[in-house]
């Protein structure tokens, strides 16, 4: 009996996204990329995980059969010179993703929520999440942090 062949998963490109600025559009947080605005997403189950005292590991530590769901979104890089909407600037932070595997860059946070961009091959309409990710509303409540539990997220 031979082992099943491994299939190449097209959305595991893991290139660091390039973002010029963040904007608010119709109450949603959007990233400016290549002259267009792309909605920014958050991993919705993270709130419940924190309430239950759990830490959601980075995607590289997820079981293989679940990785395709989280690899459809790339962590939004925390980068020097990124422009924020002035009225929202105090709501941003960063987290290190060292040890995260394929996507090791520092990640931008909004109200404590790790931020994500859809991978270029994601086929959802702009502003509509697939699976466990939802668009970031600018009035998103802060993610409740529990002492000793990092933000993490896929």
> Residue 4: inside a domain, yes or no?
no
Q: Which domain holds residue 67?
A: 24-135
Beta strands in 11-72 (DSSP E): 21-25, 28-33, 36-39, 41-43
Whether residue 149 lies inside any domain: the answer is no
Calculate the dihedral angle through the C-alpha atoms of 64, 70, 73, 79, rounding to the nearest 10 degrees.
-90
Kindly state whether residue 35 falls inside one of the protein's structural domains.
yes
- Does 56 map to a domain? yes
Per-residue model confidence as pLDDT tens for the chain (154 residues): 554 444 444 444 567 888 999 999 999 999 998 889 999 999 988 888 877 887 888 888 888 888 887 888 899 999 889 999 999 999 999 999 887 778 889 999 999 999 999 887 665 555 555 668 899 999 999 987 655 545 566 6
Residue 85 lies in a domain: yes
Q: Is residue 42 part of a domain?
A: yes
Number of domains the chain contains: 1
Strand, helix or coil for residue 101: coil
């Amino acid at each position: 009996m031979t082992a099943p062949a491994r299939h190449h998963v097209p959305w595991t490109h893991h290139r660091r996204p390039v973002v010029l600025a963040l904007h608010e559009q119709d109450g949603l947080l959007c990233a400016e990329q290549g002259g267009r605005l792309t909605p920014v997403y958050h991993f919705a189950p993270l709130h419940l995980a924190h309430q239950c005292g759990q830490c959601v590991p980075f995607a590289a530590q997820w079981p293989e059969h679940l990785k395709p769901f989280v690899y459809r979104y790339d962590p939004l890089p925390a980068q020097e010179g990124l422009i924020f909407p002035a009225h929202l600037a105090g709501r941003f932070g960063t987290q290190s993703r060292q040890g995260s595997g394929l996507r090791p860059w520092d990640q931008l946070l909004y109200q404590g929520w790790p931020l994500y961009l859809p991978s270029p091959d994601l086929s959802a309409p702009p502003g509509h999440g697939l699976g466990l990710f939802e668009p970031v509303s600018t009035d998103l409540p802060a993610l409740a942090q529990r002492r000793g539990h990092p933000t993490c997220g896929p």
